[in-house]
Amino acid sequence: MIDLKDLAENPEKYRASQRAREADEQLVDRVLTADAERRSALAEFESLRAEQKAFGKKVAQASGEEKQALLEGVKQLASQVKTAEAAANKAQEQRDEIAASFPNVIIDGIPTGGEDDFAVLKTVGTPRDFSAEGFEPRDHLELGEILGAIDMERGAKVSGSRFYFLKGVGARLEMALINMGMDLALRNGFEPIITPTLVRPQTMRGTGFDVEHDDEIYRLEKDDLYLVGTSEVALAGYHADEILDLSGGPLKYAGYSTCYRREAGSAGKDTRGIIRVHQFNKLEMFIYCQQEQAEELHEQLLAWEEEMLQSLGLAYRVIDTAAGDLGTSAARKFDCEAWVPTQGTYRELTSTSNCTTFQARRLNVRERVSDAEGKSKGTRSVATLNGTLATTRWLVAILETHQNADGSVTIPEVLRPYMGGMEKLEPIQR
């Protein structure tokens, strides 16, 4: 949730954020109006309750006919207090509902606009020129089939469209990639964690998802649980309603899970192969930190993602995502997009988001704060960040980039220790 005190003091900052997102600026005024109505209703309730307490003292001191007369007044005042309390509660609910719909305020300087308005921050590596090598590259699905690594046909038979089997060297390659990412995470102080893939509505909402209207989310109605599209959801809820001790530094988790997305709005897009599927595996970095550390740690998450991409020999670019394409919870997001040879374009492999205090406010994750003398100043919200270290989609770029004319694929050197020393994936069919 946004900082309502900050919004009241700096409404123009929030209007500017909404403009950059190409979203409704008037939402700022609706929040302010709803909060004013809440405060007014609460003041009315508290005034009547104080009057009720004072009236009660009069009744206790009275006797006879006077007391009977006062008791009639007590009943009437009790009814007014009950009505006022209900009105105050309703006003609170209405304010909270409107405030919950407000996306995170963006960080100054990011691009404005929508999906196509990103800024390219840098391009790393040179896409491989297959024409100079004298052969036409195969796409990842054709390679996966001749290597015995990907089986889309049986995936569709068993589960429907956009499901698949990774088998043989395909399964080994994904596990090698995840293990390589986990080793990088361990070297940098992350704690490994395998997360639940089903979460409660309050966890999904707390992370920033609109469970009532988001068509991407799978819901198990009978159990009122949701399948996660990223382990970020479970990791964000891990410390819900807790006060953290961050005096020793940020809490860093490397969460591994299977992820599920309905891909409801992608009909006709990337339907071939494993680029856009309903189920995949992902290794996600997640950080709880002090508010002042968030932007520096965001850059660090990006650096770790780039370290993975560079070590795998992939050409890629880094983009600063435009405000209108951030989603609800991110204040800034960097994407790393790898070059996919057969598509002649860059496709997203990683994403890292700085969610500032947005998720922590919704999930009530705080830290204790003290003054220079060590005296407690109460608590405040922490910041949360997330970033992808490896996921199934990476196989697309790895297979296509490192393929050979005979259909074999050279395994990047850094992955070979995780593949039992194997140097090349060889076709099992021609």
Q: Which two tokens stand for residue 69?
A: 């007369």
Residue 247 annotated as binding site: no
Residue 284 annotated as binding site: yes
Whole-angstrom Cα distance, residue 410 to residue 253? 32
Write down the catalytic residue from 348, 368, 380, 408.
Answer: 348
Concerning whether 329 is annotated as a catalytic residue, the answer is: no
Residue 277 annotated as binding site: yes
Residue 351 annotated as binding site: yes
Concerning whether 366 is annotated as a catalytic residue, the answer is: no
Write down the catalytic residue from 39, 219, 276, 380.
Answer: 276
Residue 392 annotated as binding site: no
Check if the beta carbon of residue 358 is closer than 8 Å to that of residue 331: yes
Concerning whether 307 is annotated as a catalytic residue, the answer is: no
Residue 349 annotated as binding site: yes
Concerning whether 276 is annotated as a catalytic residue, the answer is: yes
Beta-carbon contacts of 306 under 8 Å, excluding residues fewer than 6 positions away, are: 124, 316, 318, 336
Whole-angstrom Cα distance, residue 410 to residue 430? 17
Check if the beta carbon of residue 79 is closer than 8 Å to that of residue 111: no
Residue 230 annotated as binding site: yes
Beta-carbon contacts of 157 under 8 Å, excluding residues fewer than 6 positions away, are: none
- Per DSSP, the residues of 353-413 read EE-TTHHHHHHT-EEEEE-TTS-EEEEEE-EEEEEEEEETTHHHHHHHHTB-TTS-EEPPG
Give the 3-state secondary structure of residue 347: strand
Residue 232 annotated as binding site: yes
Concerning whether 261 is annotated as a catalytic residue, the answer is: yes
Residue with tokens 């009275």, as numbered in its chain: 62
Write down the catalytic residue from 257, 329, 351, 353.
Answer: 351
Write down the catalytic residue from 138, 362, 393, 400.
Answer: 393
Q: Give the residue ranges of the annotated binding site for ATP.
A: 261-263, 277, 348-351
Residues placed in the known binding site for L-serine: 230-232, 284, 388
Residues belonging to the binding site are 230-232, 261-263, 277, 284, 348-351, 388
> Which residues participate in catalysis according to the annotation?
261, 276, 348, 351, 393
